[in-house]
């Protein structure tokens, strides 16, 4: 066991429908009794959505949960002038954490001041060094990269540009994460790497993950999907148990932290918390 306990943090996304808002409200109400070390709020590619959704939601969480919040920021969709304005807005709202991303390129990206997430990380630190900047990373290699060596080399550039910590893309095979940690250590990347975990709770979500993420699926995981093909209740229970098992293994291997992709599902966050809380460092609530 390492000297300190890891941290547990959550990701939520701004809802895009009335039903989504109800689901998120339930999640936030439930999170009130949980106190994660921080909650991160995702962004879409559109600036209008960004200010009205991502920042507004991060402010609400900061105020209601009295919990540190982190906003995701898509480099490919913001200009330097916009970043300056957003950082000032965040400072006023007492939000001092940014996940500096490139953003997904879907063909709608305008002319940007930033080619890579590292350019945004560097710019944020230049504008205001007090911001805590996080970067994204990929235990199974980012799809745009030719190979792991290039990907980790670019990651080192991103950390050197100012990332204080990293959060991984979701993965289901812990062995992939441990190999990635080793590659990072060899490349001289020493900042904390938080493991991104997305519990599988229904078949549709599982198929979406399988189709859209390059995550390896261990035989035990595939067996759950096969066995409970027609039993959603059992699939959910087995998916949550799988995630808890993954987290226990990560913590026993001294992971720096676990970032839970909640998909705004209160029951998922609650289940994971109830079954792993004592593994994580207790969190002091902000005044």
Which range, of 56-64, 138-146, 214-222, 236-244, touches ligand FAD by CB under 6 A?
Answer: 138-146
The reply to whether 104 sits near ligand FAD by the rule CB under 6 A is yes
Tell me what percent of the chain is helix, strand and coil, each rounded to the nearest 5: 50, 15, 35
Confirm if 242 and 218 have CB atoms less than 8 A apart: no
CB-wise, 87 or 193, nearer to ligand FAD? 193
For ligand FAD, which is the closer residue by CB, 167 or 235? Answer: 167
Phi, psi of 97, deg, nearest 5 = -125, 130
With binding defined as CB under 6 A, does residue 103 bind ligand FAD? yes
Only one of the segments 26-34, 139-147, 184-192, 197-205 lies at the binding site for ligand FAD (rule: CB under 6 A); that segment is: 139-147
* Torsion on CA atoms 197, 156, 179, 70, rounded to nearest 10: -10
Instruction: Determine, following the binding rule CB under 6 A, whether residue 140 of this chain makes contact with ligand FAD.
Output: no
Across the strands, what pairs with 136? 167
The nearest distance, CB 261 to ligand FAD, in angstroms, is 8
| 8-state DSSP, 286 | P
Distance of CA 75 to the CA centre of its chain: 16
* Paired tokens of 196: 């991104």
User: Quick one: which of 5, 84, 132, 142 contacts ligand FAD (CB under 6 A)?
Assistant: 142
Please identify which residue in 101, 193, 250, 272 interacts with ligand FAD, judged by CB under 6 A.
Answer: 101
- How many residues make contact with ligand FAD (CB under 6 A)? 23
Residues that are catalytic:
11
- Stretch of residues binding ligand FAD (CB under 6 A), selected from 28-36, 112-120, 207-215, 267-275: 112-120
Identified binder of ligand FAD from the candidate list 72, 122, 236, 271, rule CB under 6 A: 72
Among 5, 23, 80, 116, binds ligand FAD (CB under 6 A): 116
Distance CA 181, CA 132 (A): 21
Least Cβ distance, residue 215 to ligand FAD (angstroms): 11
Q: Which of 105, 129, 220 is nearest to 173 (CA)?
A: 220
Binding of ligand FAD by 8 (CB under 6 A)? no
Scanning 96-104, 228-236, 248-256, 273-281 for contacts with ligand FAD by CB under 6 A, the matching segment is 96-104
- Paired strand residues for 168: 137
Coil vs helix vs strand at 90: helix
Rounded to whole angstroms, the Cα distance separating 170 from 214 reads 9
């Amino acid at each position: 066991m390492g000297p300190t306990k890891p941290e547990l943090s959550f990701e939520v996304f701004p809802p895009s429908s009335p039903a989504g808002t109800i689901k998120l409200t339930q999640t936030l109400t439930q999170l009130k009794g949980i106190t994660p070390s921080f909650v991160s709020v995702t962004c879409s590619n559109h600036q209008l959505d960004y200010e009205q959704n991502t920042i507004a939601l991060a402010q609400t969480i900061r105020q209601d949960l009295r919990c540190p919040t982190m906003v995701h920021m898509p480099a490919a969709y913001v200009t330097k002038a916009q970043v300056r304005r957003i950082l000032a807005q965040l400072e006023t709202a007492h939000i001092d954490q940014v996940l500096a991303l490139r953003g997904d390129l879907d063909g709608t990206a305008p002319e940007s001041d930033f080619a890579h997430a590292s350019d945004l990380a560097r710019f944020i630190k230049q504008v205001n060094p007090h911001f805590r900047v996080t970067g994204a990373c990929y235990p199974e290699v980012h799809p745009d990269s030719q190979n792991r060596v290039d990907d980790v080399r670019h990651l080192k550039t991103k950390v050197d540009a100012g990332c204080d910590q990293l959060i991984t893309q979701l993965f289901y095979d812990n062995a992939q994460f441990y190999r990635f940690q080793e590659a990072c250590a060899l490349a001289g990347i020493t900042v904390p790497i938080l493991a991104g975990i997305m519990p599988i709770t229904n078949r549709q979500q599982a198929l979406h993950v399988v189709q859209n993420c390059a995550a390896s699926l261990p035989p035990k995981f595939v067996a759950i999907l096969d066995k409970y093909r027609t039993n959603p209740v059992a699939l959910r229970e087995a998916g949550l148990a799988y995630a808890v098992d993954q987290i226990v293994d990560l913590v026993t291997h001294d992971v720096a932290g676990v970032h839970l992709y909640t998909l705004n599902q209160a029951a998922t966050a609650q289940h994971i918390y109830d079954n792993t809380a004592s593994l994580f460092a207790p969190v002091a609530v902000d005044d």
